[in-house]
Homo-oligomer: A and B are copies of this chain.
Amino acid sequence: MTDRATGLLDRPTSQQPPSRTHRQRVAAFVESKGFQRLIVSLIVLNAAVLGLETYDEVTARWDWLLSPLNRFIIAVFVAEIALRIFAHGRSFFRSGWGLFDLFVVTLALIPASGDAAVLRVLRVLRVLRLLSTVRSMRRVVGALVTAIPGIASIGALLVILYYVGIVMATNLFSGISPEHFGNLGQTATSMFRIMIGDGGLGDIVEPIGREQPAAWLFFLIFVVVTTFVVLNLFIAVTVEALDRQRENESRDDDTSSSGPDREDQLLEAIKDLQRQVSSLERRLDGPGNPQQ
């Protein structure tokens, strides 16, 4: 918090100059390798503590250590977010990752008792700060998120087909198998089990099929159609990922390849030649005149 005048480029306002210098210094500190490493270590430590607390024996015996440790880590996180907000100002709130960190740390402040206590389970989302803090994780998550719009239409198609399937199944089989197809919610879970091949055909469809063999046809069509759509969802993602890759490559190629340059050279050489021949012609015209 010294006042050394490093702010040469700042406009001379009476109030803000020292604050601005502070901001820059805080930003440098918050983004320094050492501080980042400390935060990552604390996130990992916090993840371990949250995991250990699921064991009742551990909580009973080590609570005197884990509870303060937990509170200390949260305090550091709150301080870190505060410093980052101070350093980046409004732009902090414009960054998706910034808002994500703020949200996740805020969850830590939910009281352990009262109506909102059930939200305490969201505390563990803090571990996801690893995704926002480690650079390579950030890139991977970014790539996955950008892949989502490309598959949105096929995803919507899947949802529509799935919805039609469960409404039909509820209408058809609520009488035969009320425990699996009693209402839309139950049917949704039963059909999800059938779709992902989680033993649903044996547990759910077989008893129905014994009463109504035609039911198999319905479920066969459902499985084949949804599998085909999921397959195409998969392909859409693959094709897009490959294209993005290829695009990047061809952009690299454009700057490095000398193909067009070569042809430019050729054209230039030929034009030089034309000029030479033209001057030759003019020269022939010149000396030829006095001869005649």
CB neighbors of B among A155-210 (8 A): 156-157, 160-161, 163-164, 167-168, 170-172, 174, 183-185, 187-189, 192-193, 196-203, 205-206, 209
Q: Which residues of B contact A274 (CB under 8 A)?
A: 269, 272-273, 276
Q: Does A278 lie within 8 Å of B276, measured CB to CB?
A: yes
Measured CA separation A292–B187 after assembly (Å): 107
Measured CA separation A50–B121 after assembly (Å): 35
Q: Which of B174, B199, B242, B292 contacts A202 (CB 8 A)?
A: B199
Q: Does A241 lie within 8 Å of B237, measured CB to CB?
A: no
Q: Which of B51, B167, B234, B277 contacts A184 (CB 8 A)?
A: B51
B-binding segment of A13-21, A71-79, A138-146 = A138-146
Measured CA separation A147–B147 after assembly (Å): 22
Q: Which residues of B contact A267 (CB under 8 A)?
A: 262, 265-266, 269
Q: Which residues of B contact A69 (CB under 8 A)?
A: none
Measured CA separation A206–B203 after assembly (Å): 12
Q: Which of B202, B238, B276 contacts A238 (CB 8 A)?
A: B238
Q: Which residues of B contact A114 (CB under 8 A)?
A: none
Q: Which residues of B contact A229 (CB under 8 A)?
A: 144
> A284 an interface residue at 8 Å Cβ cutoff?
yes
> A7 an interface residue at 8 Å Cβ cutoff?
no
CB neighbors of B among A203-245 (8 A): 203, 205-206, 209, 213, 216, 220, 223, 228-229, 231-232, 234-239, 241-243, 245
Given contacts A284-B280, A284-B284, contact A202 B213 (CB under 8 A): no
Measured between C-beta atoms, what is the minimum distance from A58 to chain B in Å? 9
Measured between C-beta atoms, what is the minimum distance from A35 to chain B in Å? 21
Q: Which residues of B contact A3 (CB under 8 A)?
A: none
Q: Does A237 lie within 8 Å of B232, measured CB to CB?
A: yes
Measured CA separation A157–B130 after assembly (Å): 9
> A64 an interface residue at 8 Å Cβ cutoff?
no
6 more A-B residue pairs beyond the given contacts A54-B187, A276-B277, A281-B283, with a C-beta to C-beta distance below 8 A: A51-B167, A127-B163, A131-B157, A197-B197, A239-B241, A276-B281
